[in-house]
Every structure is written in C-alpha cells, then in structure tokens.
Amino acid sequence: MKTKEVKIINQGLEDEMEVWGYQPCLWKRILVGVGAVCSGGLLLLLLYWLPEWGVKSTCTHTSLRNAHTLLLRTTDEFKQWFRAKVHVMSAPGRKPFDSLDPQPTAQLPNGDGEHGISEGHHGKFAHREPVQIHCFTHHSTKYYWNDLIQNFEFYKGLEDVKVSCASIHSDHSSGLSKTLQDYRTLFFGENEIAVIVPSLFKLLIKEVLNPFYIFQLFSVILWSAEDYYYYATAIVIMSAISIATSLYTVKKQYVMLHDMVAAHSVVRVSVCRGNKDIEHAMSTELVPGDVIVIPANGMIMPCDAALIHGTCIVNESMLTGESVPVTKTSLPSSGEEAAMSYDMEEHKRHTLFCGTQVIQTRFYAGELVKAVVIRTGFSTEKGQLVRSILYPKPTDFKLYRDAYLFLLCLVGVAGIGFIYTIVLSVMNKVPAKTIIIESLDIVTITVPPALPAAMTAGIVYAQRRLKRVGIFCISPQRINMCGQLNLVCFDKTGTLTEDGLDLWGIQRAEGGSFSPPESDAAKESLVDSPFVACMATCHSLTKIEGELSGDPLDLKMFSGTGWILEEPTEEETALHNPIMPTVVRPPKHAVPEANQNNPLTQNMDLSELSSCEIGIVRQFPFSSALQRMSVVVRKLGEKHMDAYLKGAPEVVASLCKQHTVPQSFTETLETYTRQGFRVIALAHRQLESKLSWHKVQNLSRDLIETNMEFLGLIIMQNKIKEETAGVLCELRQADIRTLMVTGDNMLTAISVARDCGMVRAHERVIIADAVPPKDFHPASITWRYTENPAQTIKDNQTVEINLEEEEEEEEEEAYDKQVTQQEQSYHFAVNGKTFAVITEHFPQLIQKLVLRATVFARMAPDQKTQLVEILQSIDYTVGMCGDGANDCGALKRAHSGISLSELEASVASPFTSSTSNISCVPNLIREGRAALITSFCVFKFMALYSIIQYLSVTLLYSILSNLGDFQFLFIDIAIILIIAFTMSLNPSWKELVRRRPPSSLISGPLLCSVLTQILTCLVFQVLAFLLVRQQSWYETWTPQSDACNVSSSSPSHSLNVTSPHDHKNIRNYENTTLFYVSSFQYLAVAIVFSKGKPFRQPSYKNWPFMLSCICLYIFLLLIMLYPVPAIDSFLEIVCVPHDWRVTLVIIVFVNAAVSFMLEILILDIILWRLVFRGNQGLNRPTECPSASADAPQEANNHWGSSFLSWLFCQKNKPPSVRYMHLALKLQDDADWPPRPSTVTYASEPQSHMSNPL
C-alpha cells in the first residue's frame, strides 16, 4: 500500500509545516451535501471548524504536483491545521532570477538581456514560451512549486541567489530594465505590506460561527419553543453586547495596525535603469535587484536594501526600539569581507531596513547615494514583524485546554441527564414534543451560556488595573499566563542599569605600562595626545539639526574631551575633493601647556590654533561580531594618515603589538570589570605616507586594524537603577528565578548580577568557556570558578591556567567542603560564543546548564530568543523584560514579554510599561495571579451554578415539574450574572508570595473543591426535596391549596400530577422548596469560591460583590420569611407554612456552614498543605527549605502528608515539570557541577571530564 506523500515546507524555520496534496472528489462532495441537508447545516459547521475533516471528506489524496487543495499542519506543539487553494500562474520563466535572454551571450548584469520586446498576446514576454507554475498563498506568503526539489518554496529576495558583497557591486549596481522588473513582479508581487481590514460583515460571520455562539443560538431556539422568552431575550442581548464588543476590539486593532503600516508604505522613489538613466516610480513597483537613489534629505525606507554608495544616518527605532541614530556605510567591495555571501544579519551595518527612517545621507564629489533592493513586501524585516502580529501563535495555556476538558465533563453529565429525562418521560407517557424539548433543555442547563463572558470579565478588570499602574496590554489572554511566571529574563543596559553611561575616568598606557587613572580627559596637557585624538575621532556621531546625535557611549566619550565636531555642507562636499568630510577640533581656549609660555603662541590667531584639527577620512562602523570600530583620520598639516581603534579590551589587545600592551593589562581590566565598570580600550597606528585618500576608501578594515599601538582604557560607569535590587529581592522571595541576558562583557555582567542581588555574596559563579572544534581537536568547555583570584578569566578566549600545586590542593579542599552545600551555592555564567558552541556540540548539556545559569553575556538577539525557547522546553513559564533595543524576538517568544520602550517596537511585545524600570514586573505578576485565581473562581462558580440548576431540574423532572420561566430569569440574571461579574473585581494582593497559583483546572485541590461542593449541594437539595414531602401539611398543590393556614385534618399524600390549571406543573411545594434552597446555594458557593489572600485582596474589600451578596441574602430571606403575594406570583412560588420556612432557613445556613468548612478546613488546610504543596515552589529545586517548624509538628505533618499522599496516589510521584525532574536527577550526579578548571570534551558520547589543568 502506498504511503501518503507528506513534505515539509519552511524546514528549520519558525513556521515549519507539513503539507499534503488533495484533489476534489465528486462522490464525496455529494455525500457531504446530503449530510449537510439532513443535519440542517450542522455538518458544514463541523467541517468549517475542523479544516482537516473538511478537506478529507470532500477530496482524495494526490501528489503535491497535481494537487488542487493543500492541507497544511504546523510542526510545533500546537499542530494547527490550515487549508490552501492551489492556483496556476503563467510566466515566461520558472524562477524570479532566471535570465529572460534566449541568447545567454548578450546578457546584461543582473540577468537582463538586450533584445526587442514585442507586445503580443503575452505582452512584454511574447518571445518566450510561457510556463505554468503552481502556487498558493498562506499567511501573506506566496509559495511556488519547484520541480527540482519536488516541493513548494518561497522566495525571500536577492539573498536566494547567494550573492557575494563584491558581486552586488559588480553585477547588481546598475539597476534592472523595466522588462526584468515586470517579470520579477510576477513572483514577488507589489512591494507593499498590505494589512487588509476585514469588513464588519466578514468579522461578524467569523465571530458568530464560533462554536459557543452556535450553542447559544441552539439554546435560544429551544427556550423560545418552551415559551421562555424573557431569559432567551436576556441571553440574546448579552450575546449581542459580547459580539459587538469583540467586533469593535478586533476592528480597532486591525485599523491601528493598518494605519501604522500604511503611514509610510507607499512613497515615490528614484530608480536606476541601466547605468545612467534614473526614473521616478512608486515604491510599490520595486522588486529585489532594483537600484534606488536615497535622497539627501532622507526618506522612510519602503524595502530592505543594501547600501552600495555613500553613507546614511538612520533612525531604526521602529524596528529595534533604539532611538539612537545609526550610521550605515556601503557594502565592502574588496578584500575578504567582500568575498563573503551577503547576509542581512551579518551585514546589517550596511543594510537599510524597511520602515526605518533615513535622516540624512553623505556622499562624495557629487556621487549619488545608492542601494540595491534585497527584499520587498512581507519578506522584509518590518513585514515579518507585521506578519507575527497578524498571525500570532495560539496562546498555549493549560487553563484554556482544561476549560474545554471541563466543559466536556459537563457535556457528559448533561448526557446522563438527557438519557434520564427521556427514560422518565417515556415511562410517564409524556408527549414526544415535550420529551425532546425537556431532554435538550437539560443540556442547555448543564453547559452555562454566560461562561465565556464571565471568564473574560476578570481579564478585562485586570487589564484596567494594569493600565492604572502604567502597563499597557495588547494581548489580554496573556495576563493569566503572567500569574504562572516562574522565571524572568532581564536585559541589562537600560533595564537593570541606567540607560546612559558616565565617564568615570581614563587610564593611559605609556611605554608598556599603565599611568595612574585620570578623571579628566579634557585637560589642556592632553589636547595633543593620541589618546584624546582617538576619543575625539573614533565614533559614529553626527549632527542632526545642529544637535550631536549617536550612540550614548560615543556621546559621553566625545563630550568628555570637550572637542567640537563640524560637518561640511552639501555645497562644500560637491565643490571640493572631500578629504575631510567631518572635522573635529579642540575648543578655542585649549592650547597645549608646552606652548603656553611661548611668546609666539600667545598671539596665535585662529588659523594657527586650528593645527589640532583632525579630519575623519574613513569610518569602519562598530560591528557586534568584531566588537570594535575604527577610523582613518588626517591631522591638518600632516602628510600621513592615522588609524584609531576602539572596542572590547580583549579584542583591541589582540590587535596590538605585544610590547605596547602593559603586562598588568589582564589584572587591571579584571579589577574594573569586577566592580561593574564598562571598559573600552583604544589603540593607534600611523599609516604609510604613500596612502592616498582614494586608496584608503578601498582598503579592507583587516589591513588597517592590525599592528596597532595600545593607548589605554576608557572606564565608563553604568549605574544600577534604584528600583532594581528591591524588585529582584521581591522576585527571589516569591521563588521566581531571575536571569540576566545582555550583550555586555561577561565580568561586567557578573558584577552587576552581584550588585543587584541576582547572585548573592556567598554564591560562586562558574564561567563556562567553550571553544569550537579546530585542527582535529574536539569542541571543549573549560569550567572556571570566579572566586579564585589566581584565575585569569577572559571573555572571549580560553586562557591556559597554570596553578601551583599547593593552590590546586587548597582549591580541591575548598571544593570538597562546598559539595555538601553545593545545591545553593553556584551559578553558571555563559557568553554568546560558548552558548553557540554548547547548543551545537553539547546538546545533552544545554538543559543542565540553563537550569543553574544566571548570567548570559555577549548574547546576540537571536540567541536571546533561542535561550527563551530552551527554557520553555524544560517547562519554565518564561517572562522577558527588555528595553526593546535588541530584545524584540525574545519579547515575542516569551510567555510574557514586557517592553520598557514606548516606541513602535513595543507592538511586538504583549505588555509595554510606561515606567522605565523593572518595578512593572512584580505588578504584572501580581495582577496575573489575581486574574488567574479569578478565572478559576469564576469557572468553579459557573460550573457549580450549572450543576446546582441541573440537580434542581433533575429532581423536579422526577415529579414531571420544572423551574418556572421567571425563576430561571431571577437565578440567571439577578443572582448569577451580578455575582459572576462582581466576584472578578477583587484587586491583587499587595505582595508576591512563594506559593504559586495552580495552572490547571484538572488539579487535585480544584477538583476536590468542586466535587465536595457538588456533593454538599446534592445532599441538601435531596434532603429538602424528601423532607417537604414528609411534612404533615403536604398535598398535591392546587390553586385552592392553602398550606399557610393548614388545618389539623389528615392531609392527602397523593402524588403530584400535572393539573389542568398549570400544564407545566410549576407551582408546587417541591419547586418552591428547591428554588429557595438552590438560590442560597448559589450565593454560598460564590462566597466560598471567592478567595482572597494570598493572591487577591479579601472579598470584604470588594464592595460591589459584598453589596450584591448582602442585598440578595436580605431579599431572599425577606421573601422566604415574609412572603409578598406579588413577588410570589411573579416567581410562581406557592405559600408554605411558617415553620417550614424556618426549617428552610436552618437548612440553607447549615448548607453554607458545611460548604465553608469543607473548603477552608479540608481543602485549604489539610489537602493543600500536606498533599499538593509538593508540586508548588520547586522552582529552585536545589534550594533547601527553611527549617523553622519544630520537630513534633514536622513529624505530624510528615505522617499526615504520607497518609494523604498515599490516599491521593501522590506518593513517590515524579515531578510533573521537566526542570524539577532534571534538578532531582542532578542532585544525585556526583560530577555536577564540574570541578574547578576541568575541561569537558565533545568527542565522547558521554561528556568526559579531564583532570584539572
């Protein structure tokens, strides 16, 4: 038997999917049509809700090549199904980058041929035989059939042809012809990120076809058939309000996104055609390979493009959240870097991204600033961001999955009632119409129609409270997830620490040794020094509207010199050969001390003073991969040029002549980084005199950034924000793990982690330092313990450590002493390079490592996202807090992303805080916990409401009676809706506690709670039902009955039968009794379930809820003890003796007391504390609990816990989450954590530990 063909598309990407091919089948369609007619359209609804069934029931399986319909399934944990229609496109070629020239010899660069085009049947492409290409569109991405790989693929842009930087300059810099542009448009479509706002009608249909609203429609039709018009109308009004609110919210979000995207999506651009021709066109016409001219006054980029001529200053805040303008330089055209394949991530310093704003451009000698279009439309960086907002991944939260399971249980209960009603009715010879209506009615009673509205209320209230404390939410469903957070990752700069840096001081190096630190770099004695010249020139600052702008570090460094920056005007640049496009010079009063007493210099004029002026000839921008930037400059009057370099100290030292680097370099650097300072190193090199300006423009940076002379260190201070330490302490006390994920230096990060309390004083930090395989040596990890001052730690390279034997023995002894308390005394620290090596070569170690890793330094943006995914894979509920700068991916991927940036990048984050510190994190978790507990309370209450009503109706069905229309109305509107909407108003508890709310409805405590309350209600309803029938005054009720003034004569005990005066038999003693008892039961369970501490404020502080309960209690007691004829008539209640009313009061109060005792005593005290607490607070499984309880109490607890654990099958049950399971395994692992200075090699299947170095 042939297996069904399944292919994978987008392999290895986030939206990877399996795809199957199908073609229509006539007989299946006829069968479905018949089924749809017979089921009254319900079958069509079912196939609409389940795309997989929809396709399989109307089509037969075929190969992808011949498919008319595709069935797609995501490969992630959600396994979502989609269907897509295959279209056929006619084109003169199969791929967008194919040449259209039949004669390959006459080919223009970029694949365009020189030939005449006749406008025939196929328009511009009449000379080519058109080919048929199968394609389909899914989530705004178009996929095309590829015969070679026998699968569908999508085209991103120019990167698909693996062009090198040099070939972009040589083959793609002249632009496309109109013919080739039109051809590529067939594949790439219009260059527009089109957010189509659906019409209200479409949104309405989609909303109304929700299974829940279909069920409501069924309920309303059923109630109307029973003449329950009032309640049916109330439900219709509620549903209409709910649908209207939902439509308004969804429409508003679409419009907001559309406006945000459309604001600058269509602009006029200048496009190069051939070498010289420039024409104006709309940006929607652009395709990959087009060459556009960037105007001098800037523009909003309509696509992703690689800069090939000139320099641009760009504001990328829309994309990265960083408001600091970035300088973009042209792609390298020669050298090693130019031979590399163009990669958008690697060459982002040369790439202009869609949606970012080019503020201004710089060009030389009249040359235009040009860029080659790389990607267009939804393939661009901005397009991907918009796609992730338009098609978000479903929120995977146990609460919602369990809610459906719980509803299925209720449907099961309804099924029992359904069968019971039919059997009972048939036995009592009830008419068929009544049997159908009453048996279906039991289903509508069991599944409460107001459940979603009540569940949403708690989240809406939480959203409102968050707004009051300055936290804005674009994904309300995630508020509940915040209540489960047990790990939060923090960015460092701008999140834990202040955004800006302060210049603490400088330490110059002279003659191979360090001078003492100096606090003032603007001293007159230093004006002529290469150190200050490097500080004044080695930056990417620019003037925008007269104001200096650029990286905050560069700004602080430059302002520390006191120098002045001047940029030439466009006219000057065009008129002169621009040898010095940007000039820096010292302030007018600054004169070197050596010249101060010289009579000649005392009368210096301005032109002589300008001898310190330095022109910046070429700039190599900062690269996070290289961790450095450099400039080539020429001092006024000098014949030679100089190169200045600044960057990470370890990198700069490795590029310098060894004799110029002070011997105490490592110790000095470590001294500063341990104290949390950010250290930048400077270097200088005098270039050969023969180097001309033009030669410098073509040199690769590798040739310049070598053989430098070490100048010294700049020490910057990055202060920790005031709120940081307090917030982290609060999170630690609540047993919420905290991590730091930063792009900064390792030792600086560890120092900040210690200062802010993330790593405590007595805890050791183990640095994992990995190197990839090289020269037949396998990949290895060296483990270094930072506490030992004899160790030399470097951020980006492995250092051989030769310890003396005595030191080694001491270290081993210290280690052995530590083993017993090792559980709570160590943290791992990992840098980006090590993280990459471990994920690739040590996959078996990565989960062990992240379980105890606290500091992640030098992490790239995609590595931050990868880390979040790894943490989620071991069942952590992860929060991410960053300032949006390079955290967008991680903010989106985390269960709860909190952006401290109010810029447009925050649209990628579910939460945005208006306060720029981390105090928003505990606020969000508190509100999340309150909202989560509220959801549980409301769900339990609504479940109990439906079960209580189900019990009442089932008991009344046994005597062929039911609740009256107005009784239903009173219960559902006056009691249930008011209580459900006010019980959600409890604010969050004022502090975070260690205990975590349950994440699942199907958990021991919650199920016990619901089941005990159901049993209690059942017992008291049955008791009241049986007791009323045992009363001496009981008889079959008739309009003439007057039990209130019953005589002492013997009553009739005949069974209640349907009377001609009341065909529904609503008015009877059983109905009245059960109505009173059940009304009080609703209130009792509402109060019992409305829990306060430790996650919410107590219920007595929720005055709307308390007021509602008190008013309802008073009203019910009044109508019960002192009947009002008008109310009795309205509610169809009959008069009963006063003694029975008093008995009912006793029954309802005993019922309330039993409910309260069961919930508080048995569940909250016994079960929760002794049985289920084992599943709580094991977030730091290796930390010992505080031993504050006395021994006898502990023994009792242990005995009680053992017995109850055995009773509830909890004994020796392994932890339900992976990180706890992993932590327990590691406790028994004698080789973990690795010993100091050991090396782990990747060659063995099991990691091998070598002896200490």
Enzyme catalytic residues: 491
* Phi, psi of 795, rounded to the nearest 5 degrees: -75, -40
Of residues 600, 611, 687, 606, the one with CA closest to residue 643: 687
Of residues 1039, 1035, 1067, the one with CA closest to residue 967: 1067
Across the beta sheet with 299-300, the strand order is: 299-300, 357-362, 311-315, 326-328
Across the beta sheet with 131-138, the strand order is: 87-91, 131-138, 141-146, 151-153
DSSP sequence for 452-480: HHHHHHHHHHHHHHHHHTTEEES-TTHHH
How far, in Å, are 451, 456, 1096, 1104 from residue 981 at the CA level? 11, 9, 16, 9
Helices (H) and strands (E) in the chain, counts: 41, 42
In the three-class reduction of DSSP (H, G, I as helix; E, B as strand; rest coil), residue 900 is classed as: coil
| The pair of three-digit structure tokens given for residue 767, joined into one six-digit string | 């640095």
How far, in Å, are 99, 102, 288, 584 from residue 106 at the CA level? 11, 9, 22, 51
Residue type, 790: A
* Phi, psi of 36, rounded to the nearest 5 degrees: -65, -40
Of residues 643, 647, 644, 642, the one with CA closest to residue 626: 647
| The pair of three-digit structure tokens given for residue 85, joined into one six-digit string | 């229609």
In the three-class reduction of DSSP (H, G, I as helix; E, B as strand; rest coil), residue 349 is classed as: helix
623 and 349 in contact (C-beta within 8 Å)? yes
Is the four-CA dihedral 634, 635, 636, 639 of positive or negative sign?
negative
| The pair of three-digit structure tokens given for residue 329, joined into one six-digit string | 């330089």
Angle between helices 832-841 and 843-852 (to 10 degrees): 140
Long-range contacts of 657-660 (CB under 8 A, 24+ apart): 657/707, 657/708, 657/709, 657/710, 659/512, 660/509, 660/512, 660/708, 660/709, 660/710
List 9's β-bridge partners, or say none.
17
Distance CA 970, CA 338 (A): 78
Residue type, 835: F
Q: Which residues contact 992 (CB under 8 A, 6 or more apart)?
A: 730, 731, 733, 734, 736, 922, 925, 926, 929
| Residue tagged 């190069």 (tokens) | 272
Torsion of CA 575, 579, 584, 590, to 10 degrees: -100
Q: Which residues contact 408 (CB under 8 A, 6 or more apart)?
A: none
Distance CA 64, CA 114 (A): 37
* Preceding amide of 1094 cis, omega within 30: yes
Q: Which residues contact 530 (CB under 8 A, 6 or more apart)?
A: 642, 644, 684, 711
Distance CA 749, CA 757 (A): 12
| The pair of three-digit structure tokens given for residue 232, joined into one six-digit string | 């049916």
| Residue tagged 């508190």 (tokens) | 926
The 8-class DSSP code of residue 987 comes to: P
Cite the beta strand spans of 832-942 per DSSP E: 853-857, 878-882, 896-899, 911-913
